[in-house]
Structure formats: C-alpha cells, structure tokens
Amino acid sequence: MHGLIFVTWEKYLAARFQGDIISRYRARLDGIIPSPLLADRVYNDAALLAAVSAASDITHVPADTLLREYGYYFITNALTRHRCAYLLSQTNNGLDLLLAMHDAHEQMSRLPDGLTPPLFKYRRSPHDPDALIVVYDSERRLCSVLWGAIEGTAAYYGERVQVNEVRCMNRGHPVCEFEVKFFAIPGRSDVPQQDEQHRLSQQQFADLVLSILPKEEGMTLGELQEFLRMRGVSQQQQRPALILQALLHLHYAGLVASTANRPGDDFINRRYWRVPTSG
C-alpha cells in the first residue's frame, strides 16, 4: 500500500484525537509499522489493517467509522491535495474526480512497486439517470474509506452528495456498490479556487518533464536538471525543487516510477522513468 495512505492516516488520527491516544497508538504498533513513515515508500497492507485495529481498540471508535472519516480526510487534507495536484488540476467537480479515480488507480497499478489500488467500475443507476453506481471490488474490503472519500470529494468542490451503499462485501455480497449523486450548491463560495495561469504553467512543466524521461533505466534529478538546461528552459524551471515537485505530481498520477523502494536507494542517486499508459 502506498506510503501516502500511511502518512495521512497518522495525520488524521493526530487531528482527530487529543491527549495520549497517539502515543499509545504508536507504542502499540512499535515494530509493526516502521518509523518514520515516508509518503514515497510502499508498505505492507497488513500493517494498515493492524493500525486500524489498534486505533479502534484505543479510541473505542468502530473501525468502519474511523475508516469513513479517514476517507473524507484523505481527499480534503493539504498533503493529498499537494501530492495529487496533477490529477486534481484536471477535474472541475466531484463527479469528474470520482471518474478520474478509475484511470488514476489503473495507472498506479502499472508502477513497479507492487501496488494494488482498488479498481472501480461505473454504470448509470437504473433508478436515476443523474446518479452513478460505483462498484468497488478489493480483497481489503475497505469500502468505508471509499464512502468517506466520495463525501470528501463533494466537500472539496463545494458540492453536496447523496451516497447509498446498496451492496457490501462485509455483508456477504460479492462486491460493494454505491449509488452516488452530486448536487451543486447555489451561491457556494468556498469552492477551491486556483490561479488558472499558475495551474496551467505547473501542468505544462510536468508534461515537459514527462516527455523528457526515458521509458526505462531512468534519470537522476541532476541528469534531468542538466537535460532541461540543454533544452533552454528558464533558470527558474531548472530549480531542483520545482523539478522534484513535477516528478512527485506525476508519480502520484501513476505516470512516473522511481527507485525509491529499491534496496540501497538514496535521494541523490534515485532514478526516475516514464510508466507505460497502456498494455
């Protein structure tokens, strides 16, 4: 499971609970979950399931409640918004993002890190042409996270959403099915606003970086910086921080892989390459 899940899970717990709960939680998981957690690493699924169980035992909050709250938090917190900016910049409302999740998860599954994100299927509701049926099928059975994420998606775009789980694997069904309908809220002013020119500039630069990267072997950050210099890009765009930001945004869209999870990897020698988008 992607490290971003683990990092934002702990951020959610820290924001949700006060007192010594977090220290007790971390003590319970000592030796089970590595420290420090890194958003660009991949961790074992079993570690997250142990973390959820421990948090539920300590807080006396049902696991499904924690997971649904976390799904909402995952979509709306600043770290996810920053890391997933390339994807978010291409969506304008909750339905857009929900549909984009399928392609993003499918692309993430092509990374060489052994990730197995849940893949969704969609169909129109037979009862309401404006509603969407989202089919979730994963051995993890973390459908509560998806439920919360759908609610968080609506909140992020300043919308209202109606969610009804009509089938659930945890109730014996072969898959989970959610009937989802988004509603615009007239006069809502807290919809996320972006500087359109800045957003477009970020996306164009990320696309440039993607076009330069090889399909295999990979380039280091320093090599990529030199290649950009030879292409005549501005000194501003040659800054390592800006290049790294583009690489991260592309990675969280499943478009760029790296050696981050290989033994002996270090930041200076880390290599990046383009991930196939089909096949």
In the chain, where are the structural domains located?
Answer: 3-61, 82-184, 196-274
- Cα 127 from Cα 132, distance rounded (Å): 10
3-state secondary structure of 112: coil
The strands making up 132-137's β-sheet, listed across from edge to edge, are 119-124, 132-137, 176-184, 159-167
Instruction: Give the CA angle between residues 137, 139, 143 to the nearest 5°.
Output: 55
pLDDT of residue 213: 96
CATH 3.40.50.10800 assigned to domain 82-184? The reply is no
The strands making up 256-258's β-sheet, listed across from edge to edge, are 219-220, 271-274, 256-258
Q: Which tokens hold the place of 234? A: 């501005």
Which residues are within 8 A (CB) of 124 and not within 5 positions of it... i.e. 6 or more apart?
A: 131, 132, 133
Q: Whole-model pTM?
A: 0.87
Residue 19: how many other CB atoms lie within 10 Å: 7
136 and 149 in contact (C-beta within 8 Å)?
A: no
- Cα 62 from Cα 55, distance rounded (Å): 9
pLDDT in tens, the chain (279 residues): 788 999 999 999 999 998 899 899 999 999 888 888 888 788 888 899 999 999 999 999 999 999 999 999 999 999 998 888 888 888 889 999 998 888 888 888 888 877 788 888 999 988 888 899 999 988 889 999 999 999 999 999 999 999 999 999 999 999 999 999 999 887 665 555 556 677 778 888 999 999 999 998 899 999 999 999 998 988 888 899 999 999 999 999 999 999 988 888 898 999 999 998 865
The total number of residues shown for the chain amounts to 279
pLDDT of residue 139: 87
Task: Provide DSSP, 15-49.
Answer: HH--TTHHHHHHHHTBTTB-SS--TTSB--HHHHH
Q: What fold does the segment set 196-274 form as a domain? A: Arc Repressor Mutant, subunit A (1.10.10)
Best CA proximity match to 118, nearest among 142, 144, 147: 142
pLDDT of residue 261: 86
| Cα Rg, the chain, nearest whole Å | 20
Q: Which tokens hold the place of 66? A: 């924690």
